[in-house]
Structure 1
């Protein structure tokens, strides 16, 4: 009986560690080593060379040992699903471009020093997103929202500006009124 309980506890701990590691994709960096190239690093992380260059504002092809390169957010399946559900809840009724932009704001925040460094951390960071507060984040995402998240993941580095969005017909904020508008898509205003 004791052995059985110990086995059950061991399995529970192993599962807990497995799910925890799958939940938190983080913004990270790569330290360039001798022999590295942009091509090798991009292949190692499964990203296009141009995206790696854009993420790091590099317009050259050479890199140097000990240089720190920012990498795009590479979420687990569970974080990608969480982001798609947020996009669905926040941008329901908006066009596809608005959904991509909402996902991009979350990814920009993960890459920013001002916010938590994981998708989960950003989405559940206090009172940032109304779908977290009202529970609509628990509804399944549409195929369009899932595609929008995929596009935003591939778009990382090409637009690192917008950190906020809101619908001025539904919300007001003195803080947001002091921020610089980057674009307006549908009913959402995006700002930095």
Structure 2
């Protein structure tokens, strides 16, 4: 009987471990508490944990950016590790060779779409969205989204998450030298960075 119980516990533990490992939607940063250190700012914490400054403020009922050393902040959960990686791979393939600000802006477009009622409400569904049989983003269509993201793309995603909700609401971007759609060029331009125009 003792051998049976030990075996049962071992099998149950293994099953729970495999279940946890097989879930691609594990939160990248589960809700946690952060004790404010000297030099911390909401912006730096937003970048560190991949959560918007606005969300940090509302979660912690803050009306200003003022932080006190020793203060405990609740850090809400954010994108899953899978979504962070997927978004970084899209940024890497869409904005390779573009200025860092352009990479942040590309990530922001995806996040703006997630937050918009005009588009799906998850990063994965926005990135893999199809329109008339074509994917919305060319790296999905041509497979370059499967390339590993570099450090710059990963950092750009974190910065876009911290900045979430504070930009100009861009929902599209295109290269005016190669764009063939008259519809996209008719959209209101919000900013131009490098070879990309961002629009809404």
Normalising by structure 1, what TM-score? Answer: 0.67
Q: Name whichever of 133-142 and 159-168 sits farther off.
A: 159-168
Query: Which residue of the other structure, out of 90, 94, 105, is the alignment partner of 1:86?
Result: 90
Q: Name whichever of 154-163 and 170-179 sits farther off.
A: 170-179
**Runs of 4+ displaced beyond 6 Å:** none
Equivalent residues, number? 156
- Is the 1:73–1:111 Cα contact (8 Å) retained in structure 2? no
Q: Deviations over 1:136-185 (max 9, x none)?
A: 00000110111111100000111151000011222221221221000000
Q: Which runs of no fewer than 5 residues in structure 2 stay unpaired?
A: 1-10, 29-48, 65-75
- Is the 1:73–1:110 Cα contact (8 Å) retained in structure 2? no
Alignment of 1:154-173 (within 5 A): 154-173=162-181
Query: Which residue of the other structure, out of 178, 183, 190, is the alignment partner of 1:175?
Result: 183
> For the residues of structure 2 that align with 1:122 and 1:73, how far apart are their CA atoms?
20
- Is the 2:107–2:157 Cα contact (8 Å) retained in structure 1? yes
Normalising by structure 2, what TM-score? Answer: 0.65
| Pair 17,144 (structure 1): closer, same or farther in 2 beyond 3 Å | closer
SS of 2:198 mapped into structure 1: strand
> For the residues of structure 2 that align with 1:53 and 1:16, how far apart are their CA atoms?
27
Alignment of 1:35-184 (within 5 A): 51-52=54-55, 74-126=78-130, 127-184=135-192
Q: Which runs of no fewer than 5 residues in structure 1 stay unpaired?
A: 1-6, 25-44, 62-71
